Amino acid sequence: MSTVLSAHKPNLSVATTGTILPYNDDEAGTIVESNGQPHWRYFMADIDPEWSIIPLAAYCFMTGFIDCISFSAIFVWCGFQTGNFAQLALALARLFETFSPTGSIHDTSFHIADRQALVSLLTFNLGALLGRIGDRVGSHTRLWLVLGTFSQALFTMAAALTIWKSTQMDSAGKSIADDRGDPAWTNALSYVALGFMSASMGLQGIMGKRLNTQFTTTGAPPVSNIHLYFLPSDLVLTTVWVELVTDPKLFYRQRVKTRDHKLIAAISLFTGAFVSRAILAKIGAAGALGVACGVRLVVALGWVVVPGKIVKGGKGLLWE
């Protein structure tokens, strides 16, 4: 049995077919609620992008949080793969250098920083590859957003456990390096931890990318006008800065979504890095990653309560 509540009539009518009634002009504005597996329908429904600002800002926060931990230990970013890729190019270029007239030694070694950059780049892409699951389930569905963020939390938990077991921490339990030539993480387990951290960022990046791409390319005016622009916030802020300073409404006093959401992205990432460093200095890398795991679990649960998308058509609204 399904309950149908008309937006045009105050009375409540009941249909006995157990199926969703056709959507036409006579029933425009109808709210339809089906009794056939309502929980499954709820999780398979698309979220409303206008209400996804808070969890996406939390993604930005986690970008700064996770990257701070890896950079403080080994000067490698888990989420910013531009530098890692360029670093590998430099390592390859060293092989073709000639001997210096000053007599310096020709360096053909694959430095530990280069190896760490390679691990981060590869595992980041593997994490992003998992995002193809969301293409099958539905990149906007509540189910995928919850499960995908929960998977990020699992990767973060695995990173916390492996770095704790690696014993790559000083006497105070911290993992903070003072010099690029002397990284705090060097053993095999620390590479595993770095891989899990980077994989979590790759998965987060593709989830943010899918959300952003869907909003700006569907051509649906009610959705595309929202301009969430959170793609760079999941990975790098370069695009955010370029678009922010060239925004025609940069100095407007009233609210401007194209500008304000970029500021939210930048401030959230900055706050995440700041908080992460403060926690890292107190309880070390393993503890900080444990906190990051908890935050990601909260974000995963947060996707559950994000309202569903409103489908517009005919003369009214149909809530899915």
Write out pLDDT tens, residues 227-245: 444 444 345 677 788 888 8
Query: Which position has the higher pLDDT, 207 or 95?
Result: 207
Query: Which position has the higher pLDDT, 266 or 215?
Result: 266
Cα distance between residue 186 and residue 209, in whole Å: 32
Closest by alpha carbon to 119, among 206, 32, 197, 220? 197
Cα distance between residue 121 and residue 195, in whole Å: 9
Cα distance between residue 128 and residue 155, in whole Å: 13
> What percentage of the chain carries pLDDT values higher than 70?
73
CA 175, 91, 192, 173: dihedral to nearest 10 degrees? -10
Cα distance between residue 294 and residue 300, in whole Å: 10
What does the pLDDT read at residue 171?
56
Cβ-Cβ contacts under 8 Å for 80 (sequence gap 6 or more): 67, 235, 236
Cα distance between residue 58 and residue 80, in whole Å: 17
**Average pLDDT across the chain, whole number:** 78
Closest by alpha carbon to 47, among 127, 152, 132, 137? 137
What does the pLDDT read at residue 140?
87
Average pLDDT estimate for 185-205: 95
Render the burial of 228-261: b for 16+ CB within 10 Å, e for the rest. bbbbbbbbbbeebeeebeeeeeeeeeeebbbbbb
Q: What is the pLDDT of residues 111-155, one digit of tens each?
A: 899 999 999 999 999 999 999 998 898 888 999 999 999 999 999
What does the pLDDT read at residue 89?
93
Cα distance between residue 230 and residue 219, in whole Å: 18
pTM: 0.78
Most confidently predicted of 97-101, 156-160, 181-185: 156-160
Closest by alpha carbon to 78, among 222, 185, 221, 179? 185
What does the pLDDT read at residue 169?
73
Q: Map residue 254 onto helix, strand or coil.
A: coil
What does the pLDDT read at residue 111?
85
Task: State in Å, rounded, how far the first CA of the chain is from the last one.
Answer: 17
Of 16-20, 63-67, 72-76, 136-140, minimum mean pLDDT range: 16-20
What does the pLDDT read at residue 235?
52
Q: Give strand ranges (E) for 22-159.
A: 30-33
Q: Map residue 5 onto helix, strand or coil.
A: strand
Closest by alpha carbon to 146, among 251, 314, 296? 296
Instruction: Write phi, then psi, for 11 (nearest 5 degrees).
Output: -80, 165
pLDDT reading at 194 higher than 70? yes
36: left (phi over 0), alpha (psi -120 to 50) or beta: beta
Q: Which residue(s) pair with 3 in the sheet?
A: 14, 33
